[in-house]
């Protein structure tokens, strides 16, 4: 946190009043072009003919979600992803706490934090973060699947199935559908 504050102080000193105004206006995690590209990708995903095609589209969506156009946010997300690989969850949570505070409209910040809380078995916090994710990006199939998994573990099978069906309406080839035998039976009947 201190590193970011030092950086901001230097930028404010160099740029003067314009920097003060810019620091008050929250940065956008997505440009209009990115939003249009994501809209097109989600349409392609919804109508993908097979799992391989869906996976290619899914990979592109995740790239948009995890590499925002704001350079400072993108750098911080790279730090998050690097720390996740190292399984340094306390450091990841601390960094994600800063990201969601600084970029509250960035859905993937909330989603990454929800994922870490899930891994730490802190379901209450994970579910709260997923609510934020879905308020910002209702098509976030990862958040829907995550919530379905938690609900299933909590014995809330009806809620779990509802979320899985919502996720499958967005991404019809989710491998997590295997957690729901009734969905596999439907796939076999088709």
14 part of a folded domain: no
* Residue tagged 């809620």 (tokens): 159
5 part of a folded domain: no
pLDDT at 30 over 80: no
- CB-based contact 164:179 (threshold 8 Å): yes
Q: How confident is the model over 31-83, as pLDDT tens digits?
A: 788 889 999 999 999 999 999 999 999 999 999 999 999 999 999 999 999 99
Residue ranges of the alpha helices (H) in the chain? 2-15, 17-24, 32-46, 51-66, 71-85, 89-102, 107-119, 123-136, 141-153, 157-170, 181-189
Distance (Å, whole) CA 122 – CA 104: 21
User: So what's the pLDDT on residue 43?
Assistant: 96
User: So what's the pLDDT on residue 16?
Assistant: 35
13 part of a folded domain: no
User: So what's the pLDDT on residue 46?
Assistant: 94
pLDDT at 105 over 60: yes
User: So what's the pLDDT on residue 34?
Assistant: 82
12 part of a folded domain: no
- CB-based contact 115:122 (threshold 8 Å): no
At 98, list the tokens.
């800063």
Residue 148 CB coordination number (10 Å)? 27
Distance (Å, whole) CA 97 – CA 117: 12
- CB-based contact 63:188 (threshold 8 Å): no
Boundaries of domain holding 40: 30-189
- CB-based contact 47:170 (threshold 8 Å): no
113 part of a folded domain: yes
pLDDT confidence band for 185 (50 / 70 / 90): low
Distance (Å, whole) CA 144 – CA 92: 22
Number of domains in the chain: 1
SS (H, E, C) 34-55: HHHHHHHHHHHHHCCCCHHHHH
- CB-based contact 170:42 (threshold 8 Å): yes
Q: How confident is the model over 9-21, as pLDDT tens digits?
A: 333 333 333 232 2
User: So what's the pLDDT on residue 130?
Assistant: 98
* Residue tagged 């996976």 (tokens): 55
- This prediction has a pTM of 0.79
132 part of a folded domain: yes
72 part of a folded domain: yes
CATH code for position 167: 1.25.40.10
115 part of a folded domain: yes
pLDDT at 154 over 60: yes
């Amino acid at each position: 946190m201190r590193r970011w504050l030092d950086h901001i102080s230097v930028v404010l000193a160099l740029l003067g009043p314009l920097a003060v105004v810019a620091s008050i206006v929250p940065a956008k995690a997505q440009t209009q072009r990115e939003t249009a590209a994501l809209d097109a990708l989600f349409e392609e995903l919804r109508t993908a003919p097979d799992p391989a095609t869906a996976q290619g589209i899914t990979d592109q969506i995740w790239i948009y979600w995890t590499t925002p156009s704001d350079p400072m946010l993108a750098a911080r997300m790279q730090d998050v992803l690097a720390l996740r690989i190292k399984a340094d969850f306390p450091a990841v949570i601390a960094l994600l706490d800063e990201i969601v505070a600084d970029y509250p409209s960035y859905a993937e910040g909330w989603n990454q934090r929800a994922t870490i809380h899930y891994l730490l078995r802190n379901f209450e916090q994970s579910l709260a973060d997923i609510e934020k994710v879905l308020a910002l990006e209702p098509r976030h199939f990862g958040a829907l699947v995550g919530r379905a998994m938690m609900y299933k573990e909590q014995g809330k099978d009806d809620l779990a199935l509802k979320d899985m069906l919502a996720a499958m309406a967005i991404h019809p080839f989710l491998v997590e559908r295997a957690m729901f035998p009734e969905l596999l039976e439907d796939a076999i009947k088709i």
